[in-house]
Chain A
Amino acid sequence: MLDADFFRRWMTAAAASVDREADRLTALDSPIGDADHGSNMQRGFRAVRDALDKEPPATPGAVLTQAGRLLISTVGGASGPLYGTLLRRAGKTLGDAAEVDRRQLAEALRAGTDAVMRLGGAAPGDKTMIDALVPAVDALGDSFAAARDAAEEGAVATTPLQARKGRASYLGERSIGHQDPGATSSALLFAALLDASDTEAGHE
């Protein structure tokens, strides 16, 4: 079972991963975006990590809800409300349970992903974070490792797509040939989830 501390470690691992990969995210965002995805995500997840360290919420749902709220208020780009909605809706779906299992987490993240699709209007194949999130959530029913792999494959598979949402969509065919930065950061989130579960060894 996964408790509040597991979720806090997930967010801490995500913050560390975003820190490590910030330059790469910004580099991916340069040809087809406005070259701020790395620094925006870094600012958001640092705020999440610091807040959770200072005052750790008592339940898994509360960890994700607070993380989502902080991302909305601190990121400063479209990824703030999008990731914020993902985590907040997932947190609300988990409710007040003190512990949840992997399948419940998968259901909660599916609800979060659906909310992101409604908010941004993106569907699979539009070259957005949805292209990593949907396969990852599908695979999370199997294992954390499968979810990480599916997210990474989904992110890589955005390269040949033409963007249909967000700033990159203004570029039309010129958006083809670049991996989507949002799908890439979504893959980091699922890699961090696997990291958190590895330190949980034996509980799964």
Chain B
Amino acid sequence: MSDDTRVGIVLVSHSATVAESVAELAKGLAGSGSTVAVAPAGGSESGGLGTSAELISAAAASVDRGAGVAVLTDLGSAVLTVKALLAEGDELPEDTRLVDAPFVEGAVAAVVTASTGADLAAVEAAAAEAYTYRKV
């Protein structure tokens, strides 16, 4: 499968540093051959803590290769903003989904799965499955 048809991943956090670092971590764990488009959308437009609808829309557009976009979020306004943008209809690429998953583990699962050429439903399922991994 060509890179053009891979699912894109957007990581939304209240913190730009967290979003960027988790993107880096997930890409790193997916392996050096991974060409999945992963875009962080962290913090407010002014660089502070918060959620920016503009950054989320831009990130989603930047990773859209036509195979869908999986959006993972941390909490609160990040979740609500993505849901509100999805309800809007035209703010995010077609086939954009908010994936219900833990942020770090879900991001790793999503990027690794997307790098195999899996479709959006499979990427979503892999990310959501990260909830079932118990640490104790």
Contact = CB atoms under 8 A, between A and B. Distances in A.
Contact of A78 (B45, B53, B80, B87): B80
Given A72-B85, A72-B88, A119 B80 contact: yes
Query: Would you call the interface of chain A mostly helix, strand, loop, or mixed?
Result: helix
Interface string A66-96: 0001001110111111101100100000000
A163 to B, nearest CB: 13
Given A76-B44, A166-B76, A167-B76, A85 B84 contact: yes
B88 A78 contact: no
Interface string A179-202: 000000000000000000000000
Interface string A101-128: 0000000000000000001100000000
Nearest to A166: B76
Contacts of A3: none
A72 B76 contact: no
Contacts of B53: 72-74, 80
Contacts of B45: 76
A77 B48 CA distance: 11
Interface size of A as a range: 20 to 34
A167 B51 CA distance: 15
A42 B34 CA distance: 43
B52 interface: yes
A25 B82 CA distance: 25
B60 to A, nearest CB: 14
A74 B84 CA distance: 13
Contacts of A72: 53, 81, 84-85, 88
B117 interface: no
A120 to B, nearest CB: 6
Given A72-B84, A80-B77, 4 more contacts: A72-B85, A73-B53, A76-B44, A120-B80
Interface of A: 34, 36, 40, 69, 72-74, 76-82, 84-85, 88, 119-120, 166-167
25 contacts: A36-B50, A40-B50, A69-B88, A72-B53, A72-B81, A72-B85, A72-B88, A73-B53, A73-B54, A76-B50, A76-B52, A77-B50, A77-B51, A78-B76, A79-B77, A80-B53, A80-B84, A81-B77, A81-B80, A81-B81, A81-B84, A85-B84, A85-B87, A119-B87, A167-B76
- What 7 A-B pairs have minimum CB-CB distances, sorted nearest first? A81-B84, A78-B77, A81-B80, A76-B50, A73-B53, A76-B44, A81-B81
Interface of B: 44-45, 49-54, 76-77, 80-81, 83-85, 87-88
